[in-house]
Chains A and B, each alone.
Chain A
Amino acid sequence: MGFSRKIGASVLALVVAAGSAFAQDLQIENADWWTKAGEQFKGVTLRGVTESTPASNYVSDVLAPKFEELTGIRVDVETTSWDQMYDKAIKDMEAGTGIYDMVYIEQDIVYAYMARNFLVNLTKALEEKPELKAANYSEDNFTTFAQNFRGADGGLYGTPMEAFIKVYLYRTDLFSDPEVQAAFKEQTGRDLAPAKTHEEYAEIAQFFTKWGQDHDLDLWGTTAQAHTGHPASWYEYFESIAPTFGVYNWGIDANNNYAASVANGGRMNSPEAKTALKWWLSMRDIAPPESVQSTWTETATTFAAGRVAQGLIYGENAAWIASDEAKSKVVGNVGVALPPVEDGVMAQAEAGEGYIGYYDGGAFGLPVTSKNQDAATLFLQFMALPEVQEEWAAASSRVTLTSTYDTPKVQALDKELGGFFSMLRDQGKLFKGAPEYPFHAQVREATAPIFYEILTGSIEPDAGLDQMAAKAEEELTSLGYRK
């Protein structure tokens, strides 16, 4: 064997060993059943496409190799950028090419996919082929988040694999520093504590931005997911900020002919919406300079770099921010709280008439165009086994099964995260995913250019929201939803 071949073989052995080491950590019950179930699919390779997120990376790095080890079915999960993921999945399903056996369905696009009958009803598929149903798999174990992936027929159209809320993270080391506390008290007349209202949040943000300037620190009072050319900023406003001011479902009234403008009965350009936008822009203006280029990823890295005192952060990042010293400078100093809200909004959320923030997440769906539907059904169940959930939750702060909350690792991490998992379990009901619109991306893209112009200051916020409401109605009319 030549030298280069020896090196190649060694590298290959190392890679295989490393993969196996990961996979061996997971103890799967009824391993023999999985081996037997997989026998008929020997040689099959399942292909999936998903966004590169901590939860998805766990699927490709850990679950897929373990599944292959048990069943002999190879699983190739392509992790790519958010827009590429949609582009590839939609084109494949629309054209019926059948390249993918599993596609990531974010909670906001599932209604569009179901409206087009792109997905297999997994409940029905397992009822029709009970021999493929794993003993440890149960739809009853899913958290209520799974309701987002059920169709009108009650069937499940995706295996939930990612679920988290967008929370208010704050720096416990700063908030508990006696010097900071004294200065804050002197300046504002009240004790420093996580904000419950927008006024309090703004006060804290202004205080810390000034504190950073005065002490020559790279520290600002708040983050802002305010990219001036990326949908992340649109989402921050419509899904995280506007609801805390009482503007729900993007201000579009589905029960009133999808009205968006106040003139027609919508709330996209309502006084509350305008106040919300101006408040958010005022926070953006005192956030770190990178905020105007920040998407959901960058706000998390900004927080992890210790550059802000508080901010709204997607919960999928909470675990690594609070615990991974290789990536985060604020390990051990992360507190979690509910987002600040206007008067009356919390009561509406508790009564189920509104919500205070975004419950985000996704599932793996099985396209009707897949050529390996039975084998894919096996993998989708494998992802929902209780025994794989503990490590997965610890790796990417997501919980999709109720049983996961009671596992030792999750309970330990919950303390480290300042109660993130407890909040997800107990207060998750106050948050909500995207509205059940089949035209999600279409309305977003139609209105986003105006929104970006508002962010750059080319259009005043009030006039901009008026234009956006009109544009949303125009788009909905053009799509045939608004009569």
Chain B
Amino acid sequence: MQSRMLGWLLLLPTLLILFLFGVVPFIYVLYVSFHDWNPFAANPEMVWSGANNFRRVVFDAGFLASLGVTVAFVFFAVLSELVIGYALAQAFMKDFPGKAFFRTIHTLPLIMAPIIVGSIWKLMTTPSIGIIPNLLDSWFGYDLNIGQSAAAAFILTVVMDVWHWTPLVTLTLIAALVSLPPDPFEQAQIDGANKRQIFWHITLPMIAPAVVATIFIRLMDALRTVDEVLMLTGGGPGSATRYVGVHIFKEVFPRTNYGYGSAVSVIVLYLTIVACWLLYVSMLAPRNAKKG
């Protein structure tokens, strides 16, 4: 009994912090989402509007369009990060001259603030002064202008995200690969399995929890991307890169549409939870059931 009390006591600060900074703000956002509230409206007070804001979300073409481009962005960004991250993790598992140096260099993007990343990429992609349009023009005769081309802007935001976050995936997968026991691999080699078979039947199932955890983290991060994209494209050209994070930002801050912005935030949170749950069910649940 005494040890249970001690356990709760030790947990109390964490629970308190979680409650204050996690649960309370969420309840507040939920509360605001059921109101019309714009401090710069003729009536700046909060007015109860029931589920009106949620009804509006469903028919808001701007939100639906932003959701569509966000799904595409998340798919391409997270998939690319996984593939490149795994390849780099495998490369860094081997010994080669300057390995420590390259590993350090490779993690540098990770420690940069998103706003800095966006600024750097904006500088690098501005026509006439940016290194990327200049190189693409001189090498391939390709005229890159992300202020004009929706496809180029979308691809570039994906590339920027991959550049920024792949090191996180690499580090997580290196940790997973390092912890793998050698026996199954040796046994598979003795049995004559090739590299592809070893990857699909041994490596991947064994690192699956780490992969899923990485996908969870990157999925959630990518869904709420704001700063980098805002700096690089401002959500443009047009609404080509107006991802849900940017959409919510523009509703809540410049437009000070707190009620509606909160409703969109709640919906996006719900969709994120659903996406993670689906991922868990499709990737880990069958495996856990088999174990059980």
Residue ranges of A at the interface with B (Cβ–Cβ < 8 Å): 83, 86-87, 90, 94, 112, 115-116, 218, 226-231, 288-293, 298, 307, 438-439, 441-442, 444-446, 449, 452-453, 455-456, 458, 478-481
Query: Could you tell me the distance in whole angstroms from the C-beta of B146 to the nearest C-beta in chain A?
Result: 7
Q: Which residues of A contact B39 (CB under 8 A)?
A: 90, 94, 116
| 30 chain-A/chain-B pairs, Cβ below 8 angstroms | A83-B254, A86-B253, A87-B253, A90-B256, A112-B40, A115-B40, A116-B40, A227-B147, A228-B147, A229-B237, A288-B127, A290-B147, A291-B147, A292-B145, A293-B127, A442-B255, A444-B254, A445-B255, A449-B238, A449-B239, A452-B237, A452-B238, A456-B148, A456-B236, A456-B237, A456-B240, A478-B41, A479-B40, A479-B41, A479-B42
Q: Which residues of B contact A442 (CB under 8 A)?
A: 38, 40-41, 255-257
Residue ranges of B at the interface with A (Cβ–Cβ < 8 Å): 38-44, 62, 122, 126-129, 143, 145-148, 150, 233-242, 250-251, 253-257
Q: Name the one of B44, B62, B146, B238 contacting A293, with C-beta atoms under 8 angstroms.
A: B146
Q: Which residues of A contact B147 (CB under 8 A)?
A: 226-229, 290-293
> Would B43 and A293 count as touching, CB distance under 8 A?
no
Q: Which residues of A contact B254 (CB under 8 A)?
A: 83, 86, 231, 441, 444-445
Inter-chain CA distance A449–B40, complex, in Å, is 20
> Would B255 and A456 count as touching, CB distance under 8 A?
no
Chain A minimum-CB-distance residue to B235: A229
> Would A229 and B256 count as touching, CB distance under 8 A?
no
> Would B40 and A230 count as touching, CB distance under 8 A?
no
Inter-chain CA distance A438–B43, complex, in Å, is 12
Q: What 10 pairs across the A-B complex have the smallest Cβ distances?
A: A229-B236, A229-B234, A292-B147, A480-B42, A228-B237, A293-B147, A289-B127, A228-B236, A445-B255, A456-B238
Query: Could you tell me the distance in whole angstroms from the C-beta of B28 to the nearest C-beta in chain A?
Result: 12
Best-buried of B42, B129, B257 by chain A (most CB within 10 Å): B42
Q: Which residues of B contact A453 (CB under 8 A)?
A: 238-239
Q: Which residues of A contact B241 (CB under 8 A)?
A: 229
B contact patch SS? loop
Chain A minimum-CB-distance residue to B127: A289
> Would B40 and A456 count as touching, CB distance under 8 A?
no
Query: Could you tell me the distance in whole angstroms from the C-beta of B42 to the nearest C-beta in chain A?
Result: 3
Chain B minimum-CB-distance residue to A87: B253
Inter-chain CA distance A439–B42, complex, in Å, is 9
> Would B128 and A288 count as touching, CB distance under 8 A?
yes
> Would A441 and B236 count as touching, CB distance under 8 A?
no
- Known contacts: A290-B127, A479-B40. The answer to whether A458 contacts B148 by CB under 8 A is no
Chain A minimum-CB-distance residue to B62: A449
Query: Could you tell me the distance in whole angstroms from the C-beta of A448 to the nearest C-beta in chain B?
Result: 8
Chain A minimum-CB-distance residue to B147: A292
Q: Which residues of B contact A230 (CB under 8 A)?
A: 234, 236
Q: Name the one of B41, B129, B255 contacting A441, with C-beta atoms under 8 angstroms.
A: B255
Inter-chain CA distance A127–B43, complex, in Å, is 32
Chain B minimum-CB-distance residue to A481: B42
Q: Which residues of A contact B43 (CB under 8 A)?
A: 480
> Would A227 and B253 count as touching, CB distance under 8 A?
no
Q: Which residues of A contact B44 (CB under 8 A)?
A: 116
> Would A83 and B238 count as touching, CB distance under 8 A?
no
> Would B128 and A290 count as touching, CB distance under 8 A?
yes
Query: Could you tell me the distance in whole angstroms from the C-beta of B246 to the nearest C-beta in chain A?
Result: 9
Inter-chain CA distance A288–B235, complex, in Å, is 21
Q: Which residues of A contact B250 (CB under 8 A)?
A: 445
Q: Which residues of A contact B38 (CB under 8 A)?
A: 442, 479
Query: Could you tell me the distance in whole angstroms from the C-beta of B55 to the nearest C-beta in chain A?
Result: 14
Q: Which residues of B contact A445 (CB under 8 A)?
A: 250-251, 254-255
Inter-chain CA distance A228–B127, complex, in Å, is 14
Inter-chain CA distance A291–B43, complex, in Å, is 39
> Would B239 and A218 count as touching, CB distance under 8 A?
no
> Would A452 and B256 count as touching, CB distance under 8 A?
no
Chain B minimum-CB-distance residue to A226: B147
List 4 other contacts, CB 8 Å, given A112-B40, A453-B238, A480-B42. Answer: A86-B253, A87-B253, A227-B234, A293-B126
Inter-chain CA distance A206–B117, complex, in Å, is 37
Query: Could you tell me the distance in whole angstroms from the C-beta of B215 to the nearest C-beta in chain A?
Result: 29
Q: Which residues of A contact B257 (CB under 8 A)?
A: 442
Best-buried of A227, A288, A298 by chain B (most CB within 10 Å): A227
Query: Could you tell me the distance in whole angstroms from the C-beta of B114 to the nearest C-beta in chain A?
Result: 13
Inter-chain CA distance A238–B253, complex, in Å, is 21
Chain B minimum-CB-distance residue to A109: B40
Best-buried of A439, A442, A456 by chain B (most CB within 10 Å): A456
Q: Which residues of B contact A449 (CB under 8 A)?
A: 62, 238-239, 242
Chain B minimum-CB-distance residue to A483: B42
Query: Could you tell me the distance in whole angstroms from the C-beta of A231 to the nearest C-beta in chain B?
Result: 8
Inter-chain CA distance A290–B253, complex, in Å, is 27
Q: Which residues of A contact B238 (CB under 8 A)?
A: 228-229, 449, 452-453, 455-456, 458
Query: Could you tell me the distance in whole angstroms from the C-beta of B20 to the nearest C-beta in chain A?
Result: 16
Best-buried of B38, B145, B237, B240 by chain A (most CB within 10 Å): B237
Query: Could you tell me the distance in whole angstroms from the C-beta of A117 to the nearest C-beta in chain B?
Result: 10
Q: Which residues of B contact A479 (CB under 8 A)?
A: 38, 40-42
Q: Which residues of A contact B253 (CB under 8 A)?
A: 83, 86-87, 90
Q: Which residues of A contact B234 (CB under 8 A)?
A: 227-230
Chain A minimum-CB-distance residue to B119: A81
Q: Which residues of A contact B41 (CB under 8 A)?
A: 439, 442, 478-481
> Would B255 and A290 count as touching, CB distance under 8 A?
no
Chain A minimum-CB-distance residue to B252: A87
Q: Which residues of B contact A229 (CB under 8 A)?
A: 147, 233-238, 241-242
Q: Which residues of B contact A481 (CB under 8 A)?
A: 41-42
> Would A289 and B237 count as touching, CB distance under 8 A?
no
Chain B minimum-CB-distance residue to A454: B238
Q: Name the one of A116, A438, A455 contacting B237, with C-beta atoms under 8 angstroms.
A: A455
Inter-chain CA distance A24–B19, complex, in Å, is 52
Q: Name the one of B122, B237, B239 contacting A292, with C-beta atoms under 8 angstroms.
A: B237
Query: Could you tell me the distance in whole angstroms from the C-beta of A282 to the nearest C-beta in chain B?
Result: 16
Inter-chain CA distance A289–B125, complex, in Å, is 12
- Known contacts: A288-B128, A441-B254, A455-B238. The answer to whether A228 contacts B42 by CB under 8 A is no
Inter-chain CA distance A218–B129, complex, in Å, is 12
Chain A minimum-CB-distance residue to B236: A229
Q: Which residues of B contact A293 (CB under 8 A)?
A: 122, 126-127, 145-147
Chain B minimum-CB-distance residue to A295: B234
Inter-chain CA distance A444–B254, complex, in Å, is 9
Q: Which residues of A contact B235 (CB under 8 A)?
A: 229, 452
Q: Which residues of B contact A227 (CB under 8 A)?
A: 147, 234, 236
Q: Which residues of A contact B251 (CB under 8 A)?
A: 445
Q: Which residues of B contact A307 (CB under 8 A)?
A: 128
Query: Could you tell me the distance in whole angstroms from the C-beta of A415 to the nearest C-beta in chain B?
Result: 31
Query: Could you tell me the distance in whole angstroms from the C-beta of B226 to the nearest C-beta in chain A?
Result: 11
